[in-house]
Structure 1
Amino acid sequence: MYCLQLNYHEFWLIEAYGDSDQEDDEHVAHVDFKEQKEIITLPDFAGQIELPSLYEDAKKGVSIYPPWSSIYPKSDPQLNVKNTLICHVTRFFPPPVRVLWTKNNVTLSRDYPNKDGTLNLFSQLSFIPEEGDIYSCFVKHKALQLISQIFVSVCSDVEITEPSTGPSVFCGVGLALGLLGLATGAVFIAKRETWI
């Protein structure tokens, strides 16, 4: 919101983003971006002022920030046990931002616009994880060239067991004994030739 405030009977142009901004409790004017015009709020006895470029100046001063998104489960997922996925969208301006959920590229929900003007949005989806499922959270915002997509895939917990060391030890001992026997045999053969 762009506001013009009256402080000590001087006009100040103050740039602020929010519902209102005041100095010395004397609100003079603000910009309504939905109506695309400036609103003068001086009382009648104060005399009226004209601010022809306030809306255009306010529009130029508004920066657009793309959202940051993350997706995570509410609790540790287990196959075939109901859970909730949360898509957290933050650091965006201005509102609104829209969130759309899909499962295996099939739409699960309608768009959820952020109408309350907040700059954080938590969108939730209840789901029952099944192996191989891919859930996506699509985020639409005017600062994004493309729709942002983040996803999570469901995998089963496969227990990996370490191989036993028994066969390796047995093989090593057998190899050592075999080499020892070969060396002993070679020694006996060499001594037998000298006896002859």
Structure 2
Amino acid sequence: MANETVALFIPLLLAIVTGLSSFLRENVNLKSAVDKNRPSFPVLLSFLPSLGRFPVIHLSNILLLLIGIRIIKDLATNRQTAIIGAIILSVFLLILPIIEIEPLDEILDEDSRWFSPRSYYYHWLAVIFLSLYFFGFVELQVMVINVFILRGFAISGTAIWLLNQLLEILLFSPLVVGALLLYQSLACLKSEIKQLNHKN
């Protein structure tokens, strides 16, 4: 039953993210938002680069896909279902800027260097670090406990609690790095669009 739920969950999640992405591509004018220096909405996210509604919806899509991969990983009883579902959502997560950003073709035409557009590569790095945070905790915990048990150590509840605290501290750094890289991705996107506006 869990595998059927996962099989229904993937298309539903992709439909939601695709709908939000097409809304961004068709209704959010990034060039105008950069020209008018329109702050990010809502006010709580005003620290983000001024791209209008784009950062909120873009970050929501990323969060939906990361949570979706986590849910698939936790719910699927069949390993093959979990792997296929996670791969589908991961690929979608990596190509998200391509389907969200309307002037991306113009940005690509402007600069054909290897690491261009920079916003896209920062997005990739951010997704990798955020994935480590979202998916690594339980697997890392089990791996460390298995190493101790194979070496002949007896593990008490206190040792597991201490291990959990240490792993949470270690896994918090990918969250911070991923968030900073996402911010850098949005800042680079703003500067790339600003360059487009100056050339036009």
The TM-score range, normalised by the shorter chain, is under 0.3
Select the structure of larger CA radius of gyration: 1
Q: Which has the higher strand share?
A: 1
- Please give the TM-score of this superposition, normalised by the length of structure 1: 0.22
- Please give the TM-score of this superposition, normalised by the length of structure 2: 0.22
